[in-house]
Amino acid sequence: MESEAVSEKRVRADARRNEDAVLEAAKAVFASSGVDAPVREIAAKAGVGLGTIYRRFPERSDLVAAVFRREVDTCAAEATALAESHPPGEALVLWLKRYTAFIATKRGLAAALHSGDPAFEKLPGYFRSNFEPALTALLDAAAAAGEVRAGVAAYDLLRAVGNLSIASDEDGPAYTAGMVDLLIDGLRFRAVRPAEK
């Protein structure tokens, strides 16, 4: 006979798998259809019932906030991984492109964040507390290597990329990518190589 502890562990593992499936499905559905997409569509994509979603995320805003936090965590963690596997300037560029993609997939999130829903109140702070340190470390390393100018505030750069990512449907992702490349070129202007200091 299965012990209660083993049974409980199995239930928790199943619940974690279901939650991961729901968050992954919601991320995909939100990216294609926006944050107002039907929950039924998310449940079908995740392979779970509506009850599973509503038990864990009673309000749509709870689900949106959970997807956002998970994506912020993943994107911020990539800064460290890139810094460990690439030269400083390249790591910075790769992460800024990853961050641009992150912004692009958050269709409708800006409106949700300003909706007044209490579930979203802490998200801007969560965003800053994760992304600013990640980007600061990349900027400092790239500046120390002489690959970008020193003194660029991470928050200013995050906002600049965010603003560039608000492209109209006619502009599309290629336009945004080109503008972010231009911004990156601007970071290289007045960079001082270590030997020049």
For the chain, domains (ranges, CATH) are: 1-58 (1.10.10), 60-196 (1.10.357.10)
CA distances from 65 to 24, 134, 150 (A): 13, 20, 34
Contact 102, 94 (CB under 8 A): no
Lowest mean pLDDT among 6-10, 74-78, 135-139, 177-181: 6-10
Taking CA 121 as the corner, what is the angle to CA 116 and CA 125, rounded to the nearest 5 degrees?
140
Contact 192, 148 (CB under 8 A): no
CA proximity to 152, closest of 180, 117, 177, 187: 187
CA proximity to 29, closest of 114, 142, 105, 117: 105
Contact 144, 166 (CB under 8 A): no
pTM of the shown model: 0.80
Separation of alpha carbons 16 and 10, rounded Å: 10
Structure tokens at 31: 């990216």
Q: What pLDDT, in 10s, does the model give residues 121-136?
A: 888 899 999 999 999 9
Name every residue whose Cβ is closer than 8 Å to that of residue 48 and which is 6 or more positions away in sequence.
Answer: 18, 21, 22
Mean pLDDT of the chain: 87
Rounded to the nearest 10 degrees, what angle do helices 4-33 and 39-46 cross at? Answer: 130
